[in-house]
Structure 1
Amino acid sequence: MALTRITPAALAFALLLTAWELYARYGGIAPTMLPAPSRVLEQAWQNREALAENTIPTIRATSAGFACSLIAAFVLSALVDFLPRLRRALFPLLIASQTLPLVAIAPLAVLWFGFGLLPKILLVALVTFFPMMVALVEGYAATEKEIAQMLAAMGAGRWRIFRLARLPSALPYFFAGLRISITYAVVGAIFAEYAGAAKGLGIYMLSAKNNFRPDLVLAAVAVSSVLTIALFGLAVLLQRLVMPWEKAGRDRKAERSAEARQ
């Protein structure tokens, strides 16, 4: 089943790379303009130590920033759920924060907080926490009223209802927001490095661009893409570990559909 889902994407990716390779080799375009995928792979291998050295700071900034984003999203969403008036006060500000262009904010963050890890953490958190928070708030609101009323009739307080009913109801929404947010985490870290850093994939791309090495730029882009896909896969795996009943329900639905077709 998993192989069936992966095959179309793998074929599309292979066709894209093949077309790119043929065009770069026989289209009369200079390698300094558009290097072939084979050249990008070759240069990535030859410069693997430099790529690895610059990937580690990006991973560090991404993981720290996303962890802070996750904590902030949960705390703020819980406060908003317990204090509805706070939602009306905070949401306009949070929505406005998502309209700020990262290209303009990144240099200011470096100017205010220096060239260390802190501005990168803040920028990653800025671009990733909002989808998770909105998803959690919507998930709390989707709790069935009958469950909350039954728990209240049994003497459960507000916190106990939140923990036993509202939080579990929000899990599917949360993981949907998590998968969206996690795809922006590496991009946020790289933008922060572009604005100012000693090492990182952003600095490596900037240096390669200034040296007219598009092959190395694309090699760093490929590494960042692999990181993003790996983080997305971890989010999916975490959802399956936390919510094993969801996959079982999908499998049963697929079996019933297959039986109906037969």
Structure 2
Amino acid sequence: MRIETDAVSVERAGARLVDEVTLNAPEGQLVGLVGPNGSGKSTLLRCVYRALRPSAGAVRIGGDDLHAMSAREAARRLAALPQEATAEFDFTVAETVAMGRIPHQVAVSRATEEDRLRCARALDAVGAAHLAERGFLTLSGGEKQRVLIARALAQQPRVLVLDEPTNHLDIAHQLEILALVRASGLTVLTALHDLNLAARHCDLVHVIDGGRIVASGTPYEVLTAELLADVFGVRAHRVAHPETGAPQLIFDLPSARPAP
């Protein structure tokens, strides 16, 4: 299912944090949103997963206005993993993942066998089945991240929105999680801090700077030395991955000089 923003703007305290952003994530593709700190990535994504209502513009999923839907209908189409996701109570991991099934249940129903099966499959998919009886608050940051992704997968969405999903994960789990969401067949819109992860895993990349989209296209088209100098203030050397051919980036500060 396709998700898109149409001229979305966000204003707070007289400042325009997001400025008429139009972008799309085509059905079944993994689409990255990259940009420097404070560029508007998280603010825009909060509009996409309904934590924030835009000051202007619209977010559409499958052509329908996401903010005009009921919360239940929106949750059946879209699941999100916010950057600041937390838990106040020490539910077990199994209970945490089971919360993803709520949009599919009637008000007073108990979990069905299908609910339990989907939760178990989601935990297994992220390599966290062995954590099922652990208290969520006892987990490491990386373990919590994997469990929250399992909860999103258990929700059976058509679109997955992730804000820095590889935070707190070691290299192996970063690669595993992005490979997992890519193989899920879902439409995925994700903010990524690591440009090399974006280059390797994303079908499309949107670059945001100062609240505006300044470039969109494939990683090869977008992640150029010129753009990275303009937006991130770094010198970048682009090389091809020896196996996949995907662009990979080596960075220096603008003032860095080659070693003698």
Same fold (TM over 0.5): no
Query: What TM-score comes out, normalization by structure 2 length?
Result: 0.27
Q: Compare CA radii of gyration and give the structure with the larger one.
A: 1
More helix by share: 1
Query: What TM-score comes out, normalization by structure 1 length?
Result: 0.26
More strand by share: 2
